Structure 1
Amino acid sequence: MSDPDAPGIDVRPIEEAEFAEWLRALNAGFLREPVVSAEVVEARRPQFVPGRLLGAFDNGRCVATYRSFAQEVTAVGGAAVAADAVSNVTVTATHRRRGVLSRMMGADLAAAKERGDVVSTLIAAEYGIYGRFGFGPATTMTEWVIDVPRAGFGPSRPAVPDDGGRIDLVDPEDVRKLGPDLHDRVRRAQPGAVSRGELWWQVNTGAVPFFSKWTEPFYAVYRSAAGEVEGMVSYECDDKWGDAKQPLNTAEVNWLIAATPGAERALWHYLCSIDWVQTVKSGWRSPDDVLPLLLPDPRAARITTQADWLWVRLLDVVRALEARTYATAGELVLEVVDAAGFAGGRYLLDATSDGASCTSTTRTADLTLEIGELARLWLGDESAQRLVTLGLVREERAGAARVADALLRTSRRPWCPDMF
């Protein structure tokens, strides 16, 4: 890599007057048309927070972009943890491998540490980029495609739930009114879920035109027999017919959230009962989602995508480990290596049924691991024993990895429903 401080490239927070140029560079970096309308610039202006949008400038032209924003991520047990969410990271093809991203990332993580954020989060477009900055893949997502005729419901299945609840199509205004409270209930019970601000609901219901093209989806709400909103789905349908004039439509889920098992079951059954729909695409779901087992024939759902999703970078090991709950009581001494210097050290984790404490210690380490590997373990998805087998974690005391798995792993896998 060439000198990251090479003259001619200025990495700094952008001014508001540079926002349109920054958006143009963002489009170029993501290989989208490098044109941004005045309408889109104004729609996206709420994203401009002084100091949180970084740019790299070469001879006055923006050649790299980076944005972070305040977020909460749900830890195991339901605690909301303050996060520095990273998004809109691009480097124009002409300026790759010149240390630009390292400079932007270093500046942002230092600022997040100074603010007191516990973790940093991102969704990685490419797997190999963020490990060197201390991030580790902490959740996985899975997408299913459901062959509706094979699912086993039968052509006469009604869309009405059989539990006394009901499903109604609603308008975007209803989603903006009902969605935030429902989502807060769901995300506080789901490790790995992240907060959605007001702007998210505006963008995803078309009230704020972030993009030059917008197609309004269908929105359906599940209400319990008591009239309480317990589930919601956004989906789109195509218009495809076969040569014999048979419908071959696909319903593609943008997002589906449910606060109860009954709501989740009712919404998936509804999607599989829509006339003309022969295929349902699930969107991003948890890798251990119950979806296939909600079908009379689970084989009607096949996995089309399974990959890493939410990446986490711990900035404060003590607060991160104390924020979550543990499956059993026990002690573990972790030697955490952090090349960037934000969160390294030797820590004693003492977990009980009443909570956990994490303190610096001089006791002999049980496990030695990089900060990114600890991030893999933090939400309970990864196995310490598996990381030992891969050579990514070193076991200093025989059996320590099994102790770590007994403490850290969860009965259900963490899941982040959102892209950001």
Structure 2
Amino acid sequence: MSAEVRTTTETEFADWLRAVNTGFLNSAPPKPEEVAARLAGTDLRRTWGAFDGGRCVATYRSFSQELTVPGGAVVAADAVSAVTVTPSHRGQGLLRRMITTDLGEARDRGEVVANLVAAEYGIYGRFGFGRASRTARWTIDVPRTGLDRRRWTPPEEGGRIELIDGAELRKEGPEFHDRWRVLQPGAIDRDERWWRVNTGAEESGTPFTEPFHAVYRSPEGRVEGLATYTVEGKWNDGKQPANIVSVRRLTATSPAVEGALWRFLCSLDWVVEVTAGQRSPDDLLPYYLPDPRAARLVGTADYLWVRVLDTVRALEARTYGVPGTLVLDVRDDAGVASGRYVLESTPDGASCAPTSRAADLVLGAGALGSLYLGDETPTRLAALGVLTEERPGALARAEALFHTPRRPWCPDMF
């Protein structure tokens, strides 16, 4: 079979979107309004397809993104999404052809890493991606929290919580998110279209239902926290309310503000359960409640995957736990991140450069991606056989260097 791999034209985009739906097991053809909405937010120069007999049989797209790394710096990233291969054309190397071309172009554009959220675990390690963050889901049994919802009082921290609509969120949300995201390794930027789509001001191709938006304001009126949530209305047979709050996003610039927002949600009238998805695996959520056992962890999984494209710039961008020097021998089948590098961490910042010195550690590109944001540790990777200690003591040194106080977390799907 000789499918042609190339970028997609505007007239082919509806067929490309049909192939995306097929790949994700949705047999419904895209509606014209969905095609138009998706096309408006798509850069066709970075939208790849494999075409066989004029029909799209594989899809892939990327777009520019910013990723926060330990220390608060942001690096340019190649965000990968909509990756599918039609079942009839699996095993023909179509994904490899698309991803290899895109990653090469991303490196040439100066993007430091590539990011994606993997639908399947076993695919992207073959292309140098490493699991770089995890996500967790929580369920809160509200009656067991120990909160007295009959006597709700404003936050003790001196701020206030208020509900705003989508139009107000579009005005205040972007500035707040840009302040918050540099505090959280693994967080990504949100462009203007993201805010318009997620507040119903712009079509996305799927039905939109207005959620609730609760903001925490400081005494000076500045937004320091944001919770977006929906409510599923339920009443039991005894005419007792049994509503469920589903938290879509909750971020805050401090633990005090974050705790105030969780307690607010658990104090809503008629609510018996609060669910939260895509949270950090080391979330402090349970300990904001009088009875932490009311919050139950119901699932965890890998989430953000990272592929280093420029080893020197990537390692220089982040900060490290202690001063020190480490020589890394990076093995990359694609040759993108390969080389031997000396990493030097000082109180004034980090430097990284090619070297001919003997290696302290040998690791693959995927292991480097897992280490990069601090979610995995050198010791765990060595135990898994994807990182090798070449010099005694190097593993302990790497453990201290790559340590981060909190685990990385990405609250957004893309």
- After TM superposition, is the score higher than 0.5? yes
User: 1:214 and 2:208 equivalent?
Assistant: yes
Letter in 2 for 1:145: T
Task: Please name the residue that 1:186 is paired with.
Answer: 180
User: 1:26 and 2:24 equivalent?
Assistant: no
Letter in 2 for 1:153: L
Distance 1:195 1:204 in 2: 14
Q: Is contact 2:328-2:342 (8 Å) kept?
A: yes
Partner SS state of residue 177, structure 2: helix
Task: Please name the residue that 1:164 is paired with.
Answer: 158
Letter in 1 for 2:14: A
Task: Please name the residue that 1:340 is paired with.
Answer: 334
Task: Please name the residue that 1:280 is paired with.
Answer: 274
Q: Pairwise mapping of residues 16-415 of structure 1 onto structure 2 (< 5 A)? A: 16-158=10-152, 160-415=154-409
Give the C-alpha shift of residue 45 in structure 1: 2.0
Deviations 1:223-280 (A, max 9, x none): 1112111111110111112222211111001111212223211211110011111000
Distance 1:274 1:95 in 2: 51
Distance 2:51 2:31 in 1: 21
Task: Please name the residue that 1:3 is paired with.
Answer: none
Distance 2:39 2:104 in 1: 25
Q: Is contact 1:148-1:300 (8 Å) kept?
A: yes
Distance 1:207 1:90 in 2: 29
Q: Is contact 2:35-2:205 (8 Å) kept?
A: no
Deviation beyond 3 Å, 4+ runs, structure 1? none
The percentage of counterpart residues that share the same residue type is 57
Deviations 1:80-123 (A, max 9, x none): 10000001111112211111111111110011011111000000
Partner SS state of residue 284, structure 1: strand
Q: Is contact 1:16-1:48 (8 Å) kept?
A: no
Distance 2:274 2:252 in 1: 18
Stretch deviating more after TM superposition (216-225 or 75-84): 216-225
Letter in 1 for 2:183: A
Unaligned runs of 5+ in 2: none
Stretch deviating more after TM superposition (162-171 or 278-287): 162-171
Give the C-alpha shift of residue 146 in structure 1: 0.4
Stretch deviating more after TM superposition (91-100 or 268-277): 91-100
Distance 1:168 1:378 in 2: 38
Q: Is contact 1:170-1:221 (8 Å) kept?
A: yes
Letter in 2 for 1:356: A
Deviations 1:271-305 (A, max 9, x none): 00111110001121111111111010111111111
Deviations 1:122-163 (A, max 9, x none): 000111010000000011111110000001102413153232
Unaligned runs of 5+ in 1: 1-5
Distance 1:310 1:180 in 2: 22
Q: Is contact 1:145-1:281 (8 Å) kept?
A: yes
Distance 2:198 2:26 in 1: 20
Partner SS state of residue 280, structure 1: strand
Stretch deviating more after TM superposition (88-97 or 366-375): 88-97
Distance 1:206 1:340 in 2: 42
Q: Is contact 2:112-2:308 (8 Å) kept?
A: yes
Q: Is contact 2:70-2:373 (8 Å) kept?
A: yes
Distance 2:305 2:151 in 1: 41
Give the C-alpha shift of residue 359 in structure 1: 0.7
Give the C-alpha shift of residue 165 in structure 1: 1.5
RMSD in angstroms over aligned alpha carbons? 1.1
Partner SS state of residue 205, structure 2: coil
Distance 1:54 1:69 in 2: 12
Distance 1:89 1:206 in 2: 26
Distance 1:94 1:34 in 2: 18
Letter in 2 for 1:297: D
Q: Is contact 2:38-2:205 (8 Å) kept?
A: no
Give the C-alpha shift of residue 383 in structure 1: 1.0
Give the C-alpha shift of residue 360 in structure 1: 0.6
